[in-house]
């Protein structure tokens, strides 16, 4: 697979405080890439450095194999879609889209016929046909998002950076726009780098997910591998689908605040010892149920359940006071009612746990 962008040891600090601490990454051509990280991890700074709005303090940025560190933003061939869309309120949908093409610094298009044809093509690509003459104050949030994207795509960028592009939309529309964005990207064939703080959005959209943690790439892999094999307890924590215990490995057990957890399966070097078990790998049994030889069993008191359509998430408090979450997919079993404050056995297979050493 060929690459569109390479980052080598990219650094950036603000007033001596590091925002990017040595970013190494290679982004494939013609791919959807999610950039996931908690607030303050450096996502926006990384996008701005790639776009050229911000100068890195050190490192190299190569775009299609050429260094672009000293190339101004408008000459990089990189499109940028802002979270708030930044549309011109006094211009129509078509005029907003044409603006970028007519006014671009490199190779502006001045022939009105060519502009009109390109705008028409891009309007159809993003699904805005029929709204050409509407004011951008008279269209919905999802339509504004499409205008913002069309305005970037019409300039034929070699890559598009999207900073929380779905952040301003309501939950329903956000879900719909996920697949729209993927479809539009496939049609135009350029790499999208999509910044999000939402793990579900990152996993749903990215062919590859880059996880940023305190200015470093903590993991870069496909969504399936990230979900089932996070590289560290910190990455597992961002994914929001693991119960995580700190502690230490002692022989064939993990010494945790809720007791010794028997180990099976593999161990992963990550620098900080931790034990992680996915919410949906745990089964809830009556307190007197015994565990099999290949299982781990702890006890918890039931607090509440939350129904979310295809699954139920049940919350228990453990003996050290922490909350432990279990996700039960309703395609497997009928929902069970648990007794409030009742004690239950929480059981999983030893080999399903991730053990970081
Ligand atoms: N212009 C700036 N001046 C000073 N500090 C900055 C500036 N821009 C970013 N920072 C700092 O750099 C770090 C990374 O910020 P950045 O905005 O890149 O994070 P982020 O992951 O995009 O966060 P969020 O999801 O909250 O937008 C933060 O500690 C932030 O306070």
For the stretch 138-184, pLDDT in tens is: 998 888 888 998 998 888 888 999 998 888 777 777 888 888 889 88
Q: Which residue has the CA at smallest separation from atom 17 of ligand 1?
A: 44
Atom of ligand 1 nearest to the CA of 42: 18
Atom of ligand 1 nearest to the CA of 20: 14
Q: Which residue has the CA at smallest separation from atom 18 of ligand 1?
A: 42
CB atoms within 10 A of CB 19: 21
The structure's pTM equals 0.88
Ligand 1 centroid distance, CA of 346 (Å): 40
Q: Is 43 in the pocket of ligand 1 (CB under 6 A)?
A: yes
Ligand 1 centroid distance, CA of 19 (Å): 7
Q: Is 194 in the pocket of ligand 1 (CB under 6 A)?
A: no
- Residue range 269-273: mean pLDDT, rounded: 89
Q: Which residue has the CA at smallest separation from atom 14 of ligand 1?
A: 42
CA-CA-CA-CA torsion for 317, 318, 321, 324, nearest 10 degrees?
-60
Q: Is 224 in the pocket of ligand 1 (CB under 6 A)?
A: no
CA-CA-CA-CA torsion for 84, 86, 91, 92, nearest 10 degrees?
-50
Using DSSP bridges, classify how beta strands 32-36 and 191-196 pair: parallel, antiparallel or unpaired.
parallel
Q: What's the CATH code, domain 241-356?
A: 2.40.50.140
Atom of ligand 1 nearest to the CA of 197: 25
Q: What's the CATH code, domain 3-228?
A: 3.40.50.300
Using DSSP bridges, classify how beta strands 354-356 and 267-268 pair: parallel, antiparallel or unpaired.
parallel
Closest CA relative to residue 153, chosen from 229, 93, 98? 98
Q: Is 136 in the pocket of ligand 1 (CB under 6 A)?
A: no
> How far apart, in Å, are the Cα atoms of 329 and each of 95, 113, 279, 280, 310?
48, 55, 10, 8, 6
Residue 218: pLDDT band with limits 50, 70, 90: very high
Q: Is 39 in the pocket of ligand 1 (CB under 6 A)?
A: yes
DSSP-derived letter for residue 92 is: B
Q: How far apart are the first and last CA of the chain?
A: 33
pLDDT, position 220: 95
Per-domain residue ranges for the chain? 3-228, 241-356
**Cβ contact 327:312 at 8 Å:** yes
pLDDT at position 1 over 70: no
């Amino acid at each position: 697979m060929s690459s569109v962008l390479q980052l080598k040891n990219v650094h950036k600090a603000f007033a001596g405080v590091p925002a990017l601490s040595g970013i190494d990454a290679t982004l494939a051509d013609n791919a959807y890439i999610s950039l996931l990280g908690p607030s303050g991890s450096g996502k926006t700074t990384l996008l701005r450095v790639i776009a050229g709005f911000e100068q890195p303090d050190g490192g190299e940025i190569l775009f299609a194999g050429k260094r672009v560190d000293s190339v101004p933003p408008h000459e990089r061939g990189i499109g940028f879609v802002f979270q708030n869309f930044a549309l011109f309120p006094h211009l129509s949908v078509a005029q907003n889209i044409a603006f970028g093409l007519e006014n671009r610094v490199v190779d502006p298009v001045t022939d009105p016929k060519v502009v009109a044809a390109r705008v028409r093509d891009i309007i159809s690509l993003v699904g805005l046909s029929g709204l050409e003459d509407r004011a951008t104050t008279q269209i919905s949030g999802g339509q504004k998002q499409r205008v913002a994207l069309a305005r970037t795509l019409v300039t034929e960028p070699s890559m598009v950076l999207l900073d929380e592009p779905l952040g301003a939309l309501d939950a329903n529309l956000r879900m719909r726009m996920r697949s729209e964005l993927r479809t539009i990207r496939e049609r135009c064939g350029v790499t999208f780098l999509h910044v999000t703080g939402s793990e579900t959005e990152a996993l749903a959209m990215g062919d590859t997910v880059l996880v940023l943690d305190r200015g470093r790439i903590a993991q870069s892999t496909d969504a399936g591998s990230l979900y089932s094999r996070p590289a560290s307890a910190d990455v597992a924590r961002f994914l929001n689908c693991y119960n995580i215990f700190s502690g230490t490995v002692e022989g064939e057990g993990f010494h945790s605040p809720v007791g010794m957890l028997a180990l099976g399966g593999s161990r992963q070097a990550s620098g900080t010892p931790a034990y992680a078990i996915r919410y949906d790998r745990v089964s809830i049994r009556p307190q007197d149920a015994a565990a099999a030889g290949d299982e781990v069993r702890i006890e918890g008191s039931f607090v509440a359940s939350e129904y979310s359509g295809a699954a139920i998430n049940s919350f228990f408090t453990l003996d050290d006071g922490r909350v432990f979450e279990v996700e039960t997919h309703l395609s497997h079993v009928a929902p069970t009612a648990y007794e409030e404050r009742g004690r239950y056995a929480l059981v999983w297979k030893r080999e399903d746990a991730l053990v970081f050493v």
